[in-house]
Structure 1
Amino acid sequence: MNKLKTIISLIIMVFIPFGIMIWFRAHQSSGFASVELILYPLLFGGSSIGLLYLLKRFYLKEKITDFNSGKGNFKTDILWGFALATIYFVLFFIERATLSSILSFKSNTELLGLMLDMRENPIMLILWFGPVLWIGIALYEELIRVFILDSLWKFSENKTWVFFVIILASVLIGFTHWSQGSYGIVTIGIKSIVSGLFFYKYRRLFPLVIAHVLYDGIQVALLLITYPH
């Protein structure tokens, strides 16, 4: 019964939303407007976090704090967050040097448009670097990642299964970035493997969230500063 509940929860939280997301991106003829890039992550990410909390507490009879149950504290979470972000950036440059000429890359015109609008709108800037980045993007995506991992790992403790689940989760998360082309799918999938391995060893969610915020936030901040007016 517990395994059936886990499967149902995964269908509700992961497979249906991811399927819709991938299908929509594959058939989308135009990108999102800047306001939509602010609102949608907050609404979708925030509501998904709330739904996951309800599923964990009342349906699966588990605590959402289980995702951060490994040894650690606020200071070590921050340190690990910076360490993971550093690894992500190292991978970023390696991927640029090795994969950019092989895989197709689609420039993120949506983000560029949002960035240009944020230059002119301080409220939009605060919202994106605040609740959108921390909750709608980083916390949501990392919660879903560890939910997939933690749920499927319950089916077996076999190391082969453990690493298969990490690869599976990475593939799923990679494909949700369909709009970035094969380069985005593969490179995000690679970084997701690193995240999965970290969570398997340390069972700490917060470092993943911090690393995600740093990785995305630094890139957008650099674009804001360096992109020509």
Structure 2
Amino acid sequence: MIWHRNHDTSGFASRELILYPLLFGGGCIFLLLLLKRYFLKEPLKDFNSGTGFLVKDFMWSLVLTVIYFALFYLERMTLMGVLEFRSNQELLELMLDMREKPILIILWFLPVLWIGIALYEELIRVFMLTSLWKFSDSKLWTIIVIFLTSILVGLTHWSQGSYGIVTIAIKSLVACFFFFKYRRLMPLVIAHALYDGIQVAMLLIIYPNI
């Protein structure tokens, strides 16, 4: 996808923005599970080893979503004028296409958002945390891994400019510290889907009036 973006000036078409996350994200989820289970010989329960239940997970996801949006507005007030921000024109074009083709709304808000984006990105984050933490039990190493993971997650959003890198890294710190405390994957996935989904839904509603 990075190669395509750098060599094709037309960018991604709407169908590609639907198809690529599903194929790439879904494929990487499968490979990641194989890597953890059969190469690293680590139990898959590492991803969700904390105690909890569905209602509690959902409540925590709401708390995380509120925190993410609070950071979103705080970052806009403090960092927007300092760091470089690159708007995602391809996503805006996809949203316009969604109005013409409702099937795209169904595909984006269900399999793409929940599997190709939220589950995929949170599994990557948790995979890095659980695997790297096994090298040492020291608190210093735990914190180093949290910051290293957050920096790497931020850097994967380089296409959004320095603003995207920094703000995503900050939100990743919140997610990483939550997982360190509670060892629950599902609240992170649900919060991620809610955070991204609410933003896209709001843009779909208000974009013509901007």
Fold-level similarity (TM above 0.5): yes
Summarize the alignment of residues 1-229 of structure 1 with structure 2, pairs less than 5 Å apart.
21=2, 29-228=9-208
Amino acid at match of 1:43: L
| TM-score normalized by the length of structure 2 | 0.95
> Aligned equivalents of 1:201 and 1:82: distance in 2?
17
Question: Contact 2:128–2:149 (CA<8 Å) still a contact in 1?
Answer: yes
Cα deviation digits, residues 155-210 of structure 1 (max 9, x gap)? 11111111111111111111111111100000000000000000000000000000
Displacement after TM superposition at 1:122 (Å): 1.1
Q: Residue by residue, what CA displacement relative to the aligned partner does 1:66-115 show, whole Å, maximum 9, x if unpaired?
A: 21110111111100111001000000000000000000111110110111
Residues in 1 aligned to 2:45 and 2:141: alpha-carbon distance in whole angstroms: 24
Please, what TM-score do these two structures have when normalized by structure 1?
0.87
Letter in 2 for 1:169: T
Superimposed CA distance per residue, residues 103-159 of structure 1 (whole angstroms, 9 cap, x where no aligned partner): 011111011011111111111110000000000000000000000111111111111
Code of the aligned partner of 1:98? T
Q: By how many angstroms is 1:32 displaced? A: 1.3
Distance 2:18 2:43 in 1: 29
Q: Could you list the runs of 5+ residues in structure 2 that have no partner in the other structure?
A: none
- Across the aligned residues of Structure 1 and Structure 2, the Cα RMSD in angstroms comes to 1.6
Give 5+ residue unaligned stretches, structure 1.
1-19
Kept in 2: contact 1:25–1:178 (CA 8 A): no
Q: Distance in 1 between matches of 2:103 and 2:30?
A: 25
**Contact residue 26 and residue 120 of structure 2 kept, 8 A:** yes
**Identity between Structure 1 and Structure 2 (%):** 68
